[in-house]
Structure 1
Amino acid sequence: MHKLEQKGLLPEQMLAQLPAFMAKIERLAEELGLSLASYQADHIALRVNDWDVAEQLHKAWLAYGKEWSTNEINGRPIVVIGFNTPLSCGPWQIEALELPYPGEKAYPQEGWEHIEFVIPSKAGDTDVLKVTLDQAFPELASQWDKLVDKGIKVKASCPSGEKERLSNPTYAFKQDGVCIKLHPHSLKAVIESEAE
Structure 2
Amino acid sequence: MQKLTDIGLHPEQMLAELPAFVERIEALAQEMNISLSDYQADHIALRVNDLEVAKELHKAWLAYGEEWSNNEINGRPIIVIGFNKSLQVGRWSIEALELPYPGSKSYPQQGWEHLEFVIPAKAKDTEELKALLDEKFPLLPWEKLADKGIKVKASSPSGEKERLPNPTYAFKKAGVCIKLHPCSLKDVIESEEG
Match of 2:105 in 1: 105
Match of 2:132 in 1: 132
Q: What do residues 22-79 of structure 1 show as CA deviations (whole Å, max 9, x unaligned)?
A: 0100000001111101100010000000000000000000000000000000000000
Instruction: Write the mapping of 1:16-55 to structure 2, written as runs, cut at 5 A.
Output: 16-55=16-55
Residue 2 of structure 1 and its aligned partner are, at CA, apart by 4.5
- Residue type of the alignment partner of 2:12: E
Q: Quote the Cα distance in structure 2 between the aligned partners of 1:44 and 1:37.
A: 16
Residue 108 of structure 1 and its aligned partner are, at CA, apart by 0.1
Match of 1:64 in 2: 64
- Residue type of the alignment partner of 1:105: K
Q: What do residues 79-116 of structure 1 show as CA deviations (whole Å, max 9, x unaligned)?
A: 00000000001110000000000000000000000000
Q: Quote the Cα distance in structure 1 between the aligned partners of 2:77 and 2:33.
A: 33
- Residue type of the alignment partner of 2:60: A
Q: Quote the Cα distance in structure 2 between the aligned partners of 1:57 and 1:67.
A: 13
The one of 181, 184, 187 aligned to 1:183: 181
Q: Quote the Cα distance in structure 2 between the aligned partners of 1:105 and 1:56.
A: 19
- Residue type of the alignment partner of 1:188: K
Q: Quote the Cα distance in structure 1 between the aligned partners of 2:115 and 2:43.
A: 6
Higher helix share: 1
Secondary structure of the equivalent of 2:79? strand
Structure 2-normalised TM-score?
0.99
Identity of aligned residues (%): 73
Structure 1-normalised TM-score?
0.98
Q: Quote the Cα distance in structure 2 between the aligned partners of 1:152 and 1:133.
A: 16
Residue 148 of structure 1 and its aligned partner are, at CA, apart by 0.2
- Residue type of the alignment partner of 2:138: P
Instruction: Write the mapping of 1:154-169 to structure 2, written as runs, cut at 5 A.
Output: 154-169=152-167
List structure 1 runs of 4+ shifted beyond 3 angstroms: none
Match of 1:78 in 2: 78
Match of 1:115 in 2: 115
Aligned residues: 194
Secondary structure of the equivalent of 2:3? helix
Q: What do residues 143-191 of structure 1 show as CA deviations (whole Å, max 9, x unaligned)?
A: 1010000000000000000100000000000001000000000000000
